[in-house]
Amino acid sequence: MKLMRGIKGAIALVIFAWHKTGMKHAETVTFGGSGFDRAAHLRETSATVLCETSARFTLIWRGKPLIDTRDHSLVYLDAGHPMVAEHRETALFLGLHEKSPLFAIDISHWQDPNLDVDQMKAFLDQSQNHHPDFPEHQLFCELRGTMSLLTPRDAELAATKRGLFAWQQGHKYCPRCGGENTFTAGGWRADCSDCKHPQFPRTDPVVIMLITHGNDTLLGRAPNWPEGMYSCLAGFMEPGETIEAAVRRETLEETNVNVGDVSYLASQPWAFPSSLMIGCHGQATSRDITIDPLEIETAKWVSRETVLSAYAGKDVGLKPARKGAIAAFLIENWLKDTLE
Residue 324, helix vs strand vs coil: coil
pLDDT of residue 339: 80
Helix H or strand E segment including 262: strand 259-270
pLDDT at 201: 96
DSSP 214: T
Give the three-state DSSP class for 123. coil
Predicted pLDDT of residue 122: 80
- To 5 degrees, how large is the angle CA 143–CA 325–CA 64? 5
Query: How far is residue 83 CA from its own chain's centroid?
Result: 27
Task: Please give the pLDDT value at position 2.
Answer: 41
**How far is it, in rounded angstroms, from Cα 232 to Cα 336?**
17
Domains (ranges, CATH) in the chain?
40-170 (3.90.79), 204-335 (3.90.79.10)
pLDDT at 52: 87
Return the C-alpha torsion angle 319, 320, 324, 329, nearest 10. Answer: 150
User: From the centroid of its chain, how far is CA 94?
Assistant: 16
* pLDDT at 32 (0 to 100): 81
Burial annotation 300-311 (CB, 10 A radius, 16+ → b, else e) = bbbebebbeebb
What pLDDT score was predicted for residue 340? Answer: 66
CB-CB neighbours of 147 under 10 Å: 22
User: How many C-beta neighbours within 10 Å does residue 250 have?
Assistant: 24
User: Which pLDDT score, from 0 to 100, does residue 20 have?
Assistant: 40
Q: Helix, strand, or coil here: 270?
A: strand
How many angstroms separate the CA atoms of 333 and 7, rounded? 32
Question: DSSP for 225-262?
Answer: SPTTB-B-EEEE--TT--HHHHHHHHHHHHH---EEEE
> Residue ranges of the chain with pLDDT lower than 70?
1-25, 340
Distance of CA 255 to the CA centre of its chain: 25
pLDDT value at position 50?
87
